[in-house]
Amino acid sequence: MLPALYVVVLVCLCGLAAGASHIPAYASLAGRSDEEIALFMRNHPTPGAQPPPPPIKDTSSKLVNDRLHPWLPLLPGQIRGVCPGLNTLASHGWLPRSGVATPGQIVTAVQEGFNMGSDLAQIVTYAAMLVDGNHLTNLLSIGAKSRLTGPDPPQPALVGGLNTHGVFEGDASLTRGDAFFGDNHSFNESLFDEIVATSQQFGGGKYNLTVAAEVRFNRLVASEQSNPEFFFGFPRFGTAYAEAAFPLTFFIGGPAEDNVPTNLNASLDLDVMKGFFRDSRMPKNFHRREGPLGLDIIGGALGFLSDAHPFPPGFNTGAGNYTIDQRAVDILTGNAEIDLLCALYLTFVNTTIELYPRPTGLLRKSIAVNLHNLYLPLVAVNDSAGCPEQFPFGKF
């Protein structure tokens, strides 16, 4: 007979091994114990974080729904999530069709498929990688749960992937519900119907900048009125406006004048829009936009949308009980020592520290490298004295 202590130890080790071996290669390691991480490293290749790829050279408009990138229906186990842009790139094979990719693959694919500027691509991708990705395998899921993910890990561990609520994904999305109500990642037909109705009222039946401002505002008001946990501080404040402009800047495609973000005449056909949002599908003959759209020009669209219907950053404590975040207001109105981009950077730095309070070895180094990757495009548009780089995980 085995001594009782031996049995207890054996049971614990088996439980630990089973738990850690359930962690998919793309899942976040936030909240995992040192033992789970060590076991994970024994079971997976761990290249760690890598430097970002160089910007693409040819940024002309070109056919991207081409013979080499046909739309294909989803196979079991393939992951899609909250972002119609990334979903579409995966369903056309510009990203791995599995829905799991390296940040480098994402940075290149959003440039190749949509001509997103490399600086914007890097900021968005490395922000997501820091809070939702696996720093050891260097993989990020563009959704999250699938049958490959297995059972959810116990708190505070995260399943990871872009669907994870609160670190990047947020409330008042255009076509996805709030996490508080259950499903924060599936296409929601009723929400799209609201976009259709608003487009009929303000856009002659198409989605344009005026419609985007109305839809953006209506979704904020609806969440503020109904969601007791509604959150509209950083980073959500920045991403919510950008995402309302993205259909115009990236889903129209073709000549530059048709999709500059402040062109009030730029309009998107609603069937085409639904194709991207619901089916992850480019229209036939889709050409990506002419020329990259990066940090230097997206600001105009964001300003238009937020000026049309100001909605100050803040959060609910109970449905309809909204508190304005004064610090965030000061940043937006230029009354703070940092600007919006820097505030977004610092938010992701702080969230990463909360998720990984004491990482060691390769994990620590990889987080440090990914933080640096996030900072790189920021220095180009921001003077580094106004937004000094942070090194909470050391310099590598």
Which residues of the shown chain bind ligand HEM in the complex (CB under 6 A)? Answer: 82-86, 106, 110, 114, 116, 121, 124-125, 128, 162, 168-170, 173-176, 239, 243, 246-247, 250
Please, what is the minimum distance in Å from the beta carbon of residue 48 to ligand HEM? 20
DSSP 186-252: S--HHHHHHHHHHHHHHSTTEE-HHHHHHHHHHHHHHHHHH-TT-EESTTHHHHHHHHHHHHHHHSS
37 or 287: CB nearest ligand HEM? 287
C-beta of 20 vs 131, nearer to ligand HEM: 131
Residue 321, Cβ density class (10 Å: 0-12 exposed, 13-18 middle, ≥19 buried) = exposed
CB of residue 121 to ligand HEM, shortest distance in Å: 5
Name residues whose C-beta falls within 8 Å of residue 96's C-beta, 6 or more positions apart in sequence.
90, 105
- Minimum gap (Å) between residue 52 Cβ and ligand HEM: 12
Mention every residue, 6+ apart, whose C-beta is less than 8 A from residue 105.
95, 96
Nearer to ligand HEM, 239 or 306 (CB): 239
Complex with ligand HEM: residue 250 or 356, whichever CB lies closer = 250
Q: Nearer to ligand HEM by C-beta: 153 or 238? A: 238
Whichever of 85 and 160 has its CB closer to ligand HEM, that residue is 85
Helix (H), strand (E) at residue 101: strand 100-101
Nearest approach in angstroms of CB 305 to ligand HEM is 13
* Minimal CB distance residue for ligand HEM: 85
Q: How far is the CB of 279 from ligand HEM (least distance, A)?
A: 14
Residue 254 or residue 361: which is nearer to ligand HEM going by CB?
Answer: 254
Rounded Cα gap, residues 283 and 274, in angstroms: 10
**Alpha-carbon distances of 104 from 108, 111, 157, 349, 375, rounded to whole Å:** 6, 11, 25, 20, 15
CB of 45 to ligand HEM, least distance (A): 23
Indicate the helix (H) or strand (E) that contains 120.
Answer: helix 118-132
- For ligand HEM, the closer CB: 258 or 330: 258
87: CB partners within 8 A, 6+ apart: 80, 81, 99, 142, 280
| Kind and range of the H or E run holding 141 | strand 140-141
Contact 304, 213 (CB under 8 A): yes
End-to-end CA distance of the chain: 52
Q: What is the largest CA-CA distance in the chain?
A: 81
Q: How far is the CB of 82 from ligand HEM (least distance, A)?
A: 4
Tokens at 10, concatenated: 């054996």
- Minimum CB separation from ligand HEM for residue 33, in Å? 27
